[in-house]
Amino acid sequence: MVIISQDMIKQFQTLMDSIDEPLKNTFENLHQGYPTEALVRFLKARDGNVPKAHKMLVDSLDWRIQNEIDNILLKPIVPVDFYSGIRDSQLIGMSGYTKEGRPVIAVGVGRSTYDKASIHYYVQSHIQINEYRDRIILPAATKKFERHISTCVKVLDMTGLKISQLGQLKLLTVISSIDDLNYPEKTDTYYIVNAPYIFSACWKVVRPLLQERTRKKVQVLSGCGKDELLKIMDYDSLPHFCRREGSGSGSSKHSRSSTSTGNDNCFSLDHGFHQELYNYINQQTEAIESRTIISYKSFHVAFPEPDPDDQKIAQTIESECQKLSHQNGVADTVNEDKEKK
């Protein structure tokens, strides 16, 4: 593990002093009053290599300017029924805080279908949640817990994960690349819960491909992970899918029609987090409607070139899923033959 020294930070700061004014302006939106902490994050992402970290940050700032990321919270996804469809097919939400004050972000990996809109809307929604987290949630947590909080924890629910979801790899690789290149080191720990066999099989071959600092962040918990998660958060902050014992077999659905509805289901548009996010974007938009023309079409963000490591991981997952699919096909054929006999 690379230790970030004060000398590295000073070298980085010197390089940043010479960037153009537009880059400095968007950097302020990125660091939210904590420029040194932001530099440290990019240094960690490039293993303490100052020139590489500087290039990564400048590229990220250019990406923000070219894609108008500073204004993305002024770009509502409308109408509400359409946005609701995105929320029901891209399962992500915030269930509360850890005892140390980090936001708990829940992601329904196994149940997300990404089939209600084009890839551009899902990418827009993902970036909006990232920006709302960094500009609103984390500063509010810093004030509430009276200490600087700049990272979150993520609880990934694998319930319902199937081989057929292989087609989502392109979208997930795009989102992963955007996060890796522009929001590095924003997640403290990834907790995997309700993991079915397909995840366990893929994890065995993917884990060795991850960088050491990433491997150390991932914890695969038993069942729904409730007992382990209660060590770092109160019951009220547990995601709804962690409040029961589950096997990852796909026995429950995390939609508004499930037993966890309203304020319990942090994936739902009716949940407090999504209501606050939705209202914030609409209020910001209404505030400038009288001064400018608002475009409500999808917000097309330039997709970054996939990181070679991310590509290798995606190819490995695809290969492993194909093996599992073939094995299941052979097993099904054998069972059918036995039944005929």
Band of the pLDDT at 202, cuts 50, 70, 90?
confident
Rounded CA-CA distance 274/269 in Å is 5
Query: Quick check: 56 pLDDT over 50?
Result: yes
Helices 197-206 + 308-340 axis angle, to 10: 140
pLDDT of residue 173: 87
Phi, psi of 76 (to 5 degrees): -65, 150
Q: How far is CA 325 from the centre of its chain?
A: 27
- Name the token pair of 335: 């069972």
Most confident of 167-171, 192-196, 209-213, 301-305: 192-196
The helix or strand, by DSSP H or E, that contains position 188, with its residue range, turns out to be strand 187-193
pLDDT of residue 248: 43
118 or 247, greater pLDDT: 118
Q: How far is CA 8 from the centre of its chain?
A: 28
What is the end-to-end Cα distance of the chain in Å, rounded?
Answer: 59
254 or 68, greater pLDDT: 68
Nearest in space to 213 (alpha carbons), one of 185, 182, 246? 185
Q: Do β-strands 152-157 and 218-220 pair in parallel, antiparallel, or remain unpaired?
A: unpaired
- Name the token pair of 292: 């400018």
Place of tokens 């302006």: 25
Cis peptide before 79 (omega within 30 of 0): yes
**Number of alpha carbons in the 13 Å side-chain half-sphere of residue 23:** 16
Average of per-residue pLDDT values in the chain = 86
Nearest in space to 94 (alpha carbons), one of 239, 252, 217? 239
Q: What is the DSSP string of 271-282?
A: SHHHHHHHHHHH
Query: Quick check: 50 pLDDT over 90?
Result: yes
247 or 230, greater pLDDT: 230
| Cα R_g (the chain), whole angstroms | 21
Partners of 192 in the beta sheet?
Answer: 156, 220
Q: What is the DSSP string of 114-169?
A: --SS-HHHHHHHHHHHHHHIIIIIHHHHHHHHTS----EEEEEE-TT--GGGGGGH
Determine contact, residues 177/148, Cβ cutoff 8 Å. no
pLDDT in tens, 232-242: 999 999 999 99
112 or 286, greater pLDDT: 112
Span 291-301, average pLDDT = 61
**Number of alpha carbons in the 13 Å side-chain half-sphere of residue 142:** 14
Query: Quick check: 283 pLDDT over 80?
Result: yes
Q: Which domains occur in the chain, in start order?
A: 6-67 (no CATH), 77-244+265-289 (3.40.525.10)
Band of the pLDDT at 295, cuts 50, 70, 90?
low
165 or 15, greater pLDDT: 15
pLDDT in tens, 15-43: 999 999 999 999 999 999 999 999 999 99
- Name the token pair of 4: 């970030």
Nearest in space to 35 (alpha carbons), one of 15, 65, 64, 63? 15
pTM, two decimal places: 0.86
pLDDT of residue 328: 64
pLDDT of residue 256: 35
- Residues of the chain with pLDDT > 70: what percent? 86
pLDDT of residue 253: 39
Listed range (126-135, 265-274, 280-289, 300-309) with the worst mean pLDDT: 300-309
The helix or strand, by DSSP H or E, that contains position 190, with its residue range, turns out to be strand 187-193
Determine contact, residues 317/323, Cβ cutoff 8 Å. no
* H-helix segments, the chain: 6-16, 21-31, 35-45, 50-66, 80-89, 119-132, 138-145, 169-182, 197-206, 212-215, 226-229, 272-289, 308-340
Listed range (90-104, 120-134, 254-268) with the worst mean pLDDT: 254-268
